[in-house]
Amino acid sequence: MITAQGWIPSASALQAPGQTTPQTPPQTTPSRPQPGNAATEPIITDEEFDATIPTLDADPNAPLGTIEEWDAEQTRLEQNASPDRAITGDPLSAPMELDPELDAPLGPIGSFDVEPFDESQYTQAAEDDATRAVRYTYRIEGLTARPAPDASETPALSDVSDKARKAVDPDDIRARFRELSALDDGDGRAANGAMVSARMIEDQQLLADLLIGQCFFDATVNGAVEMPESGEGPMVVVLTASPGPCYRFDSITFTAPPVEPEDLITRSFVPAIGEPVDADRVLAAEANIAVALPQYGYPFAQVGQRDVLLDPATDSADYTLPVTPGARSSFGDIVTSGTSVFEADHIATLARFDKGDLYDSRLVDDLRKALVATGLYSVVAVKPEPTGEVAPDGTQYAALAVEQEAGPARTLAANAGYGTGQGIRAQGSWTHRNLFPPEGALIASIIAGTQEQGASGTFRRSNAGRRDRSVELSLSALRSDFAAFEAFTGRLAGRISYSSTPIWQKPITYSYGFELLGTNEQDFNFDLGRRDRRTYYVAALPGQITWDRSNDLLDPTTGFRLSAQVSPEASLGSGTQFYGRGLVEATGYFPFGDSIVLAGRARVGSIFGADRPDIAPSRRYYAGGGGSVRGFGFQELGPKDPDNRPIGGRSLVEGAAEVRYRFGNYGIVGFVDAGQVSISSTPGFDDLRFGAGLGGRFYTNFGPMRLDVATPIGRRPGESRVSIYISIGQAF
């Protein structure tokens, strides 16, 4: 029930401060002649008026005269008119007399009283002042904190715990009111008083609804306006609330058949007996029931219309909710419709459940996301359908209907980056993701850069026999021209991997495969004292495993990652040489508040079983660059030849520490990196080099854009003074 005081502002109420109402001078109206007024002479007498009216013919049926006869009669009357009519008092025939001053010559211009035209009173500014917006403020009265009821004063709540018998905080109502208020949205200004009045009436209803939603079912709200006493300043809209008593749950009842587990419905309904009847909490609890039932085997559950019975005598409420859970079900067959992308058997490969498992809507949502992640759908929907078929465990099978609509299977992609010592590197690719169904992709890519050029073709089958498992076979040709080496490399490789995706970040990922490559590379020959070219033939069996407990792939803020790589290799050609390459890396992320993250990284690598000259330069370890030790150019750290060009080593140690500060979509990073490359296979720490710098981050919906600027500490001849790195994602 809402009561409101009507308010129609007067004209003065709408004036802005300092504005006055223009006064209209009184106007006089000539007196109308009254009968019997001797002072007023008639313009024409009745006798003269009657004489001018032509008489009617005695015989109305007589024939009409001709036009010539009528003209002759008018001429006769004009000739008989008296020339001295004006003297006899006939004003209609009197000649008009002109004012003699009209014929007088004009006087000099200076004799006129000329006042300048005041244009300002007709300008737009004056018009705007006349219609200036009304200013106002508002306040709410009558809302006070309601303490928890005393059990001794409320017998209906005598058996309710103190936790359930909680207080009502008016600040919650005020905060919600500010979010939705029309008065608050107006920022204290309105075009006129009628608009303020409309907003006040709207907010009366809003405040009453909020009170009812917070358990005050008898609430009323009155609205009034207080004008400023001095005639200046904003008017004040006052909303006076009379909440009345707060109704609390006295009973909560669900009319539903038994379910499994038996407390599934009751534990999903959060409000308890003794709590205020809060509409938001009730609606959320009912929605929670509708969500929980399909998660525990009831895909066709329905929540009915609630019934709330209020008792004003005890300020209590009896709540009843009908629930129809439907048949308890298990997963049945997968059926497809629409424009087919995958057959049912491949969709079953993506599912994390088998036929006969208890129905769980979370697994259905997971399947839908997996189908979307393939990138082959424009629209895909997954929903259960009853079959009436009984499963061995007594449940009913629920079929999954997958409605498919194929999207474009071909994509073009490109990325680019820059690093000191690595130059500009751009890569483009063309992909047909379903050229060999199901999910058999063909990928063609090219690399065009200042120091790298190449092309490759890759066949990849995603979700190969298992979800998120990929099988790849690739063939590539690459030319590299770096300070460390110049190489022409052909490579044939295959790999099986189980990896994380942007949708599902897995705790354990792995990959294993093979590499066959032939590479002609330039290296410094210390025996000959000059750079020499040599062709290497390498066969390798690389493998990797990662334990990832971070919270994000591209921008982690908490957790850690541990990764290990191992690659037994054979160098063929002038004698067969067997050796092994290994690398271990650990990263950690430690948040401080909501804006600062301390990140750290450590990396150790070793090549054992072969001397450095027997290892192709492209297979050795190097340090320096955007993904290594910043402040140094790409592959710049480590042992060098007499020309001060890096030659690589058999062991590696690296470390890095970053402080990341984020504000909105931007961030600042300060970092210190360290690293050393040694000729020995045993990592060393006797010649650690350090780099330091600052970075900027721009956060997008797919990850942060990174710009790092660093300088080496203790710079040596030939090393870059400043290094710049641009890429996507954090450095680690």
For the ranges 80-94, 172-186, 543-557, 602-616, which has the lowest average pLDDT? 80-94
Half-sphere exposure of residue 410: CA atoms within 13 angstroms, side-chain side: 2
pLDDT tens digit sequence for 512-534: 999 999 999 988 888 777 888 88
For the ranges 53-67, 90-104, 355-369, which has the lowest average pLDDT? 90-104
pLDDT at 308: 94
Amino acid at 727: S
pLDDT tens digit sequence for 391-426: 999 999 999 999 999 988 898 988 887 776 678 889
pLDDT tens digit sequence for 686-720: 889 999 999 999 998 878 899 999 999 988 887 88
How far apart CA 587 and CA 598 sit, in angstroms, is: 11
* Percent of the chain scoring above 70 in pLDDT: 80
**CA dihedral sign of residues 127, 133, 134, 135:** negative
**CA dihedral sign of residues 27, 33, 35, 38:** positive
Q: Average pLDDT for residues 216-226, to the nearest whole number?
A: 92
Residues 6+ apart with CB under 8 A from 595: 661, 662, 663
Q: Are 670 and 509 in contact (CB under 8 A)?
A: no
pLDDT tens digit sequence for 601-657: 999 999 999 988 889 999 999 999 888 999 988 888 889 888 888 999 999 999 999
Residues 6+ apart with CB under 8 A from 162: 148
Half-sphere exposure of residue 84: CA atoms within 13 angstroms, side-chain side: 2
Q: DSSP assignment of 639-707, as one string? A: -B-TTS-B--BSEEEEEEEEEEEEETTEEEEEEEEEEEEESSSS---TT-EEEEEEEEEEEETTEEEEE
